[in-house]
Amino acid sequence: MISSRMPFASVVVPAVLIAIAILVPILHLSTGTLPTYAVSLFGKYLCYAMLALALDLVWGYCGILSLGHAAFFSLGGYAMGMYLMRQIGSRGVYGDPILPDFMVFLNWKELPWYWWGMDHAWFAFPMIVLVPGALALVFGWLAFRSRVTGVYLSIISQAMTFALLLAFFRNDMGMGGNNGLTDFKEILGFDTGADATRSALFSVTAITLALAYLLCVFVTRSRAGLVIVAIRDAESRARFCGYRVEHYKLFVWTISAMLAGIAGALYVPQVGIINPSEFGTGNSIEAVIWVALGGRGTLWGAIVGAVGVNFVKSWLTNNFPEWWLFALGLMFVLVTLFLPKGIAGLLRLGGIDAFNRKSAAAEAGEARS
């Protein structure tokens, strides 16, 4: 069922994203119909969408259920946070030109080595992909080489996130402990609070998401992409066919982690804080739910799922503060029960029965491994 033509969505999704990347700043800055509040909120949703995209790449296409993507997201966020923190310079409350405020009042005398260079964008921005990428490479190399799969991989990826959460909570780590990094002033010389910067950040996020989407389309449509799907459906068979399964897995896993890192980096200046609770295991699970809800294995489904769930969550926490958890929980249960293919599946329903049957077989195959 592989169609040789470009799928419709791979044109439409980037087109829509670029359209809103242009439209939103216009609506926000010149006409003022969009409040700043909404711009930042949608920017946040798009960051989540990119995280969902990254997760869909490994889970939907390679069958690796990661419960640790929040870790890559947060590491990217921290790299950006460190850059923004250094940009504060002497505008901190203590006016120290080098040390961030939290170091001053905890009596740190000098900047730890891992903060060196983070005041330069040319150094800090590559770190956004390199740090999560490196962690993913090491973790993946260990895990895939020794053929840790399925639930085991999920659980140890969760353990990894939890260990990072605890580590970043420690004040001795020099990352601001529980409070994390906050009170940013400017990014690349622009005031982070200014409306224009907010709009620009939104546009950058939307465009980056479009690019990330295209990258994912490219990866999944490439020859390697075919092997990756083969690995998802029958890992042993792919291995017996002579493919180096762990190399393919490591490749897609690392790309996914880097994408998650970029998502985190774009997220931080828009929400204004990065702290260890972003590593929380609940966050990773929620990201999985966005993907499941949107439709696992369809790239645009992941985007729709992330934006949709978060929009509903924002709306519920405002309008039904006492009841939103019931609604959200019920939504997860009902979608899992009645929409096993997510929103994407719902839109396809009634179309190709054969498709459903085949993918059900694929699911069963995966469940067994």
Query: Which of 22, 26, 32, 105 is in the footprint of another protein by CB under 8 A?
Result: 105
Q: Would you say 43 or 261 has its CB closer to another protein?
A: 43
Q: Is 44 in the site for another protein (CB under 8 A)?
A: yes
Kindly give, in sequence order, each residue whose CB lies less than 8 Å from that of residue 50, ignoring residues fewer than 6 positions away: 205, 208, 209, 212, 259, 260, 262, 263, 266
* Token pair in block for residue 100: 């961030």
Query: Which of 66, 74, 87, 158 is in the footprint of another protein by CB under 8 A?
Result: 158
Query: Which of 200, 211, 214, 271 is in the footprint of another protein by CB under 8 A?
Result: 271
Q: Would you say 262 or 292 has its CB closer to another protein?
A: 292
Q: How far is the CB of 118 from another protein (least distance, A)?
A: 20
Main-chain dihedrals φ then ψ at residue 323, nearest 5 degrees:
-115, -5
Q: Is 265 in the site for another protein (CB under 8 A)?
A: no
Q: Would you say 129 or 181 has its CB closer to another protein?
A: 181
3-state secondary structure of 14: helix
Main-chain dihedrals φ then ψ at residue 273, nearest 5 degrees:
-155, 145
Q: Would you say 149 or 254 has its CB closer to another protein?
A: 149
What character string, x for contact with another protein (CB under 8 A) and - otherwise, covers 107-146? x-------------------------------x--xx-xx
Hey, which residues between 295 and 354 contact another protein (CB under 8 A)?
297-301, 303-304, 307-308, 311, 314-315, 317-318, 321-326, 328-333, 335-337, 340, 343-344, 347-348, 351-352
Q: Would you say 117 or 214 has its CB closer to another protein?
A: 214
Q: Is 242 in the site for another protein (CB under 8 A)?
A: no
DSSP bridge pairs for 47 = none
Q: Would you say 128 or 274 has its CB closer to another protein?
A: 274
- Of 30-38, 122-130, 206-214, 258-266, the window that binds another protein (rule: CB under 8 A) is 30-38
Task: Estimate to the nearest angstrom the gap between the alpha carbon of 347 and the chain centroid.
Answer: 24
Q: Is 244 in the site for another protein (CB under 8 A)?
A: no
Hey, which residues between 206 and 235 contact another protein (CB under 8 A)?
220-221, 226, 229-230, 233-234
Q: 264-278: string of b/e by CB count within 10 Å (b at 16+)?
A: bbbbbbbeebbbbbb
**Contact present, 240 and 118 (Cβ < 8 Å):** no
Q: Would you say 147 or 247 has its CB closer to another protein?
A: 147
Q: Would you say 122 or 368 has its CB closer to another protein?
A: 368
Q: 180-210: string of b/e by CB count within 10 Å (b at 16+)?
A: bbbbbebbeeeebeeeebbbbbbbbbbbbbb
Main-chain dihedrals φ then ψ at residue 191, nearest 5 degrees:
-65, 120
Instruction: Give the dihedral sign, CA 357/362/366/369.
Output: positive
Q: What angle do CA 194, 197, 200 make, to 5 degrees?
A: 150
- Which ranges constitute the DSSP H helices of the chain? 9-25, 36-59, 69-88, 101-105, 121-145, 150-169, 195-221, 223-233, 235-240, 245-271, 281-294, 299-319, 324-338, 342-348, 353-368
Q: Is 42 in the site for another protein (CB under 8 A)?
A: yes
Hey, which residues between 63 and 92 contact another protein (CB under 8 A)?
65, 90-92
Element (H, E) at 181: strand 181-182
What character string, x for contact with another protein (CB under 8 A) and - otherwise, covers 167-186? x-xxx-----xxxx-xxx--
Q: Would you say 101 or 128 has its CB closer to another protein?
A: 101
Return the closest-CA partner of residue 132 out of 67, 212, 77.
77
- Of 113-121, 203-211, 253-261, 287-295, the window that binds another protein (rule: CB under 8 A) is 287-295
